[in-house]
Structure 1
Amino acid sequence: MKQLQALGPGLSAALLCAALSGPVHAEGRVKEALCPGLDEPARGTGPRYEAFFSPYTHHWTYSEEHKQVYALSLSRLLPEGRFCGFSLFSNSFGQPSAYAFIGKSWPGFWAAQPNVYASVSAGIIYGYVGKYKNKVPLNLGGFAPAIIPAIGYRLSPSAAVEVQLLGTAAFMLGATWRF
């Protein structure tokens, strides 16, 4: 594990993304990687990707050690509201970090507000190292599991605003763009 940590966050993020990026060949058959449906043909002519940018994170508890968090992610949209992707961000302590994830979205789940959607992603986060290694549960060498629920409002077929709940630590406000 120390070897992976020594590679640095950039290469670690690339390794996490590679794990989600496509099929794995085994015994002459193609088996899907961690992103089920990645190779399924696109249905219709709708968007295939979604970018998310967050310039603002609010921590529930103030700490002088907290830094501004910026996040940028790219997701591959899959059939039946599923998605997978990766995010690069500066964590709450200014460390470069990454998150590789799969997820599911439920558009229009609230009949009275059809533009409201909910989603959840789950994956592996990397970046809480050194004296901040205990700031995320189950952290092993900078790698830890994460589950991030979100709620959003679709402004148009391409644009939305979204709030992501970051455990008991904070919430993140951002915008998405589908293309």
Structure 2
Amino acid sequence: MQHSVIRAACALIALGALGAEAQASHVLSLHYGPYVHHWKPDPLHNDTPDLFGLEVENPDRWLAGAMWFHNSYHQPSQYFYVGRRWSFDEQVPGLYAKLTAGPLLGYKGEYEDKIPVNRDGVGVGVIPALGYQYRRVSAQFAILGTAGYMITFGSDLLSW
């Protein structure tokens, strides 16, 4: 499993390094989350969510996206969101903050109470993150509320 995570991260970095550095009007990006750290570790927790997602960002830095993953309890889950990205290029080129919010699906049964405002497997997610972008690739540190944090990698696929 660890080798597939490393291979996927290397492939995203290689893909992103191929393109130009210029920011286009709109950007479509692919994201991969290989690891989650839980604040309160439990042997039953899933620390490798295999998160994959797509995100679209407009010229004003508003964004929308969808992520597919296995949650901390190994249940197939989805996060559909809107949000905003703030650039700190004047202070530290490439550094950014991001805040997203939207429906979080998949926490069901005995795990329904593990996310806020969840009813029948439909809850609400709010995720703040800090990231760094170099050309077409990015790495991001996202806080997952009281559960823990996630490391993600991204690559800009398309711009128009």
Q: Say whether the fold is shared (TM-score over 0.5).
A: yes
How does 1:1-179 map onto structure 2 within 5 Å?
A: 45=24, 48-67=27-46, 68-108=48-88, 111-156=90-135, 158-179=136-157
1:115, 1:154 within 8 Å by CA — same for their partners in 2? yes
Task: Give the fraction of aligned pairs with identical amino acids, expressed as a percent.
Answer: 31
* CA deviation string 1:22-59 (max 9, x = no partner): xxxxxxxxxxxxxxxxxxxxxx8455201110101100
1:49, 1:178 within 8 Å by CA — same for their partners in 2? yes
Larger strand proportion of the pair: 2
TM-score by length of 2: 0.79
Q: Which structure has the larger Rg over C-alpha atoms?
A: 1
1:155: Cα distance to partner?
2.0
2:34, 2:152 within 8 Å by CA — same for their partners in 1? yes
Give the number of aligned pairs.
134
2:26, 2:59 within 8 Å by CA — same for their partners in 1? no
Q: Which amino acid aligns with 2:85?
A: S
- Tell me, in whole angstroms, the C-alpha distance in 1 between the residues paired with 2:111 and 2:45: 11
- Return structure 1 stretches of 4+ with deviation > 2 angstroms: 44-48
* CA deviation string 1:48-104 (max 9, x = no partner): 201110101100111122013221110111130011011101000100000110010
- Tell me, in whole angstroms, the C-alpha distance in 2 between the residues paired with 1:76 and 1:52: 11
- Tell me, in whole angstroms, the C-alpha distance in 2 between the residues paired with 1:97 and 1:139: 13
- Tell me, in whole angstroms, the C-alpha distance in 1 between the residues paired with 2:151 and 2:24: 29
Gaps of 5+ in 1: 1-43
- SS of the residue aligned with 2:92? coil
Q: Which amino acid aligns with 1:88?
A: W
1:112: Cα distance to partner?
3.0
TM-score by length of 1: 0.71
Gaps of 5+ in 2: 1-22
* CA deviation string 1:101-140 (max 9, x = no partner): 001001126x331211000100000000011111111111
Higher relative contact order, structure no. (Cα contacts within 8 Å, ≥ 6 residues apart): 2
2:98, 2:128 within 8 Å by CA — same for their partners in 1? yes
- Tell me, in whole angstroms, the C-alpha distance in 1 between the residues paired with 2:148 and 2:58: 28
